[in-house]
């Protein structure tokens, strides 16, 4: 069978692949995108039913198109987000081939480029961009044995409350996924326990502006690296129900039982760290620091934004915080499900090139890997805090397309070209 050749192959047709296509087309780089499912499949079938974007539609989008059917200040439901990327791909005529999986990539021996084994044959390319997503493989910490007498599920597999067996639920992890799922289960009438670790919880809106705007003008989306010691600090935000500030005390007020970080499990007993107070206090400090920086920004720029003194009110600690629960006999309190909202890892084992460290993590700078011609896109903190978000990936893709163009200029150079352009 003839081997198909293309200058640049993009693996993955999510938002990262679509953004990459736009910039490669602008740079006139011939390319092909291979997607094993459908465009933006993760948004369609990889998330729970009621999910809406965490940022308003004016912000969580690419520069080249607005959401046709969503009010710019509203939060797009996940299906609309998927539809948006399908429409965007059409608008830019992105060359996406769906239903084709990339299985292995190797460097050619003694000549440039890569040999790419796909579910539909071999392709050769000079460059390959792994745009396979930051949130690929569900991670469950090894705390509760698989055969324990309790249903265990990762947030990746959660769809809606009807899916869970009768009984109370322990949600482990209070980032944006955990807290939204816990809230949904509570509203569906479940008894919910929520294990809360270190987190930031920016105000949904303050003095008339959404937090995405504040993080933008305060330069926080553009932070180049995490502050040391914050590697395990998650962010708790929600666009659900029109967008609300995550307030753990309010959730406890409504009946949710908060516990600290989950530590161990033995003979049906789960134990928790004595850190709930500290985690909530640090979350409050983060919340108040955003208000403080926003006030300073308003004052510095002489803006006539409405005052919002009530935003600084922190309600008193509920009982589960002042008298923390340190262990729970799951059967005794009727917990039948543990829902792990404990994040994701990535799998690049199909890349048999020198672009990964011993732990299988990408070795790269801003997505340009240590293996010339191999690029990554959509990684968390690829170039900045916003990198794995919708708008951030678009800017990272631009950088990669620019890098590929420059490398192409070098590889196409020959002394005869130079003489011609010098008029010799
Ligand atoms: C629950 C949740 C909510 C989020 N909400 C927001 C939000 O509101 N706003 C925001 O900006 N960001 C949000 N994000 C972050 C981010 O925008 C999404 O995760 C987004 O889906 C990432 O897009 P991507 O293209 O990088 O990866 P993905 O959407 O995961 O796309 C990667 C694609 O690669 C394909 N693929 C993988 N391996 C192969 C292979 N070997 N061969 C061929 N194809 C392959 C997959 O099928 C997939 O379609 C959220 C993330 C999660 C988990």
* Model confidence pLDDT, tens digit, residues 86-113: 999 999 999 999 999 999 999 999 999 9
Substitution site in 36, 178, 240 for ligand 1 pocket (most atoms within 8 Å of beta carbon): 36
The rounded percent of the chain whose pLDDT value lies above 70 is 97
Substitution site in 13, 133, 211 for ligand 1 pocket (most atoms within 8 Å of beta carbon): 133
Which residue's CA lies nearest to atom 25 of ligand 1? Answer: 14
Specify the pLDDT at position 294.
Answer: 98
What are residue 9's phi and psi, to 5 degrees?
-110, 130
Substitution site in 378, 387, 394, 395 for ligand 1 pocket (most atoms within 8 Å of beta carbon): 378
Of the pLDDT bands very low, low, confident and very high (cuts 50, 70, 90), residue 227 is: confident
Report residue 195 as tokens: 């294990």
Mean pLDDT of the region 119-145: 96
Index of the ligand 1 atom closest to the CA of residue 17: 25
pLDDT at 421 exceeding the cut of 80:
no
User: What is the C-alpha separation between 206 and 199, in angstroms, rounded?
Assistant: 19
Specify the pLDDT at position 16.
Answer: 98
C-beta 47 within 6 A of ligand 1: yes
Index of the ligand 1 atom closest to the CA of residue 15: 25
Which has the higher per-residue pLDDT, 225 or 72?
72
- Pairs from 379-388 (Cβ < 8 Å, separation ≥ 24): 379/134, 379/346, 380/134, 381/225, 381/226, 383/224, 384/221, 384/222, 384/223, 384/224, 385/220, 385/221, 385/222, 385/223, 385/226, 386/221, 386/222, 388/134, 388/135
pLDDT at 247 exceeding the cut of 70:
yes
- How big is the chain by its Cα radius of gyration, in Å? 24
Which residue's CA lies nearest to atom 16 of ligand 1? Answer: 389
Which has the higher per-residue pLDDT, 419 or 173?
173
pLDDT at 423 exceeding the cut of 80:
no
Which residue carries 């978000």 as its tokens? 389
Substitution site in 12, 49, 104, 116 for ligand 1 pocket (most atoms within 8 Å of beta carbon): 12
CA 229 to chain centre: 20
Report residue 325 as tokens: 């629960």
For the beta carbon of residue 216, count every other beta carbon within 10 angstroms: 16
Of the pLDDT bands very low, low, confident and very high (cuts 50, 70, 90), residue 413 is: confident
C-beta 53 within 6 A of ligand 1: yes
Index of the ligand 1 atom closest to the CA of residue 389: 11
C-beta 183 within 6 A of ligand 1: no
Hey, which of 1-5, 334-338, 413-417 has the most confident mean pLDDT?
334-338
C-beta 386 within 6 A of ligand 1: no
Work out whether strand 262-266 and strand 269-272 pair parallel, antiparallel, or are unpaired: antiparallel
Residues in CB range of 320: below 8 A, 6 or more apart: 252, 257, 258, 259, 276
C-beta 389 within 6 A of ligand 1: yes
Specify the pLDDT at position 211.
Answer: 96
Specify the pLDDT at position 228.
Answer: 83
Query: Ligand 1 centroid to 40 CA: how many Å?
Result: 7
Which residue's CA lies nearest to atom 34 of ligand 1? Answer: 12
Summary mean pLDDT of the chain: 95
- Cite the beta strand spans of 31-189 per DSSP E: 31-35, 96-98, 102-107, 114-118, 121-130, 137-138, 151-154, 168-172
What does the pLDDT look like over 271-318, one tens digit per residue?
999 999 999 999 999 999 999 999 999 999 999 999 999 999 999 999
Index of the ligand 1 atom closest to the CA of residue 18: 25
What does the pLDDT look like over 149-161, one tens digit per residue?
999 999 999 999 9
Specify the pLDDT at position 414.
Answer: 80
C-beta 128 within 6 A of ligand 1: no
Residues in CB range of 415: below 8 A, 6 or more apart: none
Substitution site in 18, 132, 400 for ligand 1 pocket (most atoms within 8 Å of beta carbon): 132
The rounded percent of the chain whose pLDDT value lies above 90 is 94
Report residue 67 as tokens: 């959401």
Specify the pLDDT at position 422.
Answer: 55
Which residue's CA lies nearest to atom 38 of ligand 1? Answer: 132
Specify the pLDDT at position 417.
Answer: 62
C-beta 37 within 6 A of ligand 1: yes
Are 185 and 164 contacting, i.e. CB atoms less than 8 angstroms apart?
A: yes
C-beta 396 within 6 A of ligand 1: no
Helical H segments across 254-358, by residue range: 276-301, 319-322
Substitution site in 17, 21, 32, 35 for ligand 1 pocket (most atoms within 8 Å of beta carbon): 35
Are 377 and 134 contacting, i.e. CB atoms less than 8 angstroms apart?
A: no
Secondary structure of residue 151 in the 3-state scheme: strand
C-beta 31 within 6 A of ligand 1: no
Using CB atoms within 10 A of its CB, is residue 298 exposed (0-12), middle (13-18) or buried (19+)?
middle
C-beta 12 within 6 A of ligand 1: yes
Q: In this predicted structure, which of 221-225, 227-231, 360-364, 393-397 has the lowest mean pLDDT?
A: 227-231
Closest CA to 124 of 373, 312, 311, 395: 373
Index of the ligand 1 atom closest to the CA of residue 60: 11
Q: How far is CA 396 from CA 22, 74, 191, 387, in A?
A: 12, 26, 42, 7
Mean pLDDT of the region 45-62: 97
* pTM (predicted TM-score): 0.95
User: What is the C-alpha separation between 16 and 379, in angstroms, rounded?
Assistant: 10
Mean pLDDT of the region 69-95: 97
The helix (H) or strand (E) run that includes residue 210 is strand 209-210
């Amino acid at each position: 069978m003839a081997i198909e050749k293309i200058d640049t192959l993009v693996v993955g047709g999510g938002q990262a692949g679509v953004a990459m296509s736009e910039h490669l087309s602008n740079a006139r780089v011939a390319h092909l995108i291979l997607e094993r499912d459908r465009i933006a499949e993760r948004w369609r079938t990889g998330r729970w039913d009621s999910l809406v974007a965490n940022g308003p539609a004016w912000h969580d989008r690419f520069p080249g198109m607005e959401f046709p059917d969503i009010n710019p200040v509203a939060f797009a439901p996940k299906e609309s987000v998927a539809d948006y990327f399908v429409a965007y791909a059409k608008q830019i005529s992105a060359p996406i081939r769906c239903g084709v999986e990339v299985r292995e990539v190797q460097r050619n021996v003694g000549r440039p480029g890569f040999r790419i084994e796909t579910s539909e044959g071999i392709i050769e390319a000079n460059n390959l961009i792994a745009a396979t997503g930051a949130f690929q493989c569900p991670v469950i910490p090894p705390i509760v044995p698989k055969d324990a007498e309790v249903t265990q599920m990762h947030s990746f597999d959660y769809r809606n409350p009807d899916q869970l067996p009768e009984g109370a639920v322990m949600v482990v992890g209070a980032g944006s996924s955990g807290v939204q799922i816990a809230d949904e289960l509570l509203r569906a009438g479940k008894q919910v326990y929520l294990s809360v670790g270190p987190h930031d919880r920016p105000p949904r809106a303050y003095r008339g502006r959404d937090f995405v705007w504040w993080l933008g003008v305060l330069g926080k989306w553009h932070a180049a690296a995490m502050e040391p010691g914050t590697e395990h600090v998650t962010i708790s935000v929600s666009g659900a129900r029109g967008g609300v500030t995550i307030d753990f005390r309010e959730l406890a007020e409504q009946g949710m039982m908060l516990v600290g970080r989950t530590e161990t499990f033995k003979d049906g007993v789960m134990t928790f760290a004595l850190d709930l107070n500290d985690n909530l206090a640090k979350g409050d400090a983060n919340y108040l620091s955003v208000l403080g920086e926003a006030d300073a920004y308003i004052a510095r720029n002489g803006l006539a934004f409405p005052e919002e003194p009530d935003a600084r009110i922190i309600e008193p600690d509920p009982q589960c915080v002042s008298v923390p629960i340190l262990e729970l006999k799951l059967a005794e309190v009727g917990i039948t499900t543990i829902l792990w909202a404990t994040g994701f890892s990535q799998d690049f084992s199909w890349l048999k090139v020198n672009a990964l460290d011993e732990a299988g993590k990408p070795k790269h700078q801003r997505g340009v890997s240590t293996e010339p011609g191999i690029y990554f896109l959509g990684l968390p903190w690829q170039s900045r805090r916003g990198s794995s978000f919708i708008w951030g990936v678009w800017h990272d893709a631009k950088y990669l397309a620019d890098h590929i163009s420059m490398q192409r200029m070098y590889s196409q150079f020959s002394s005869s070209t130079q003489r011609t352009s010098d008029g010799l």
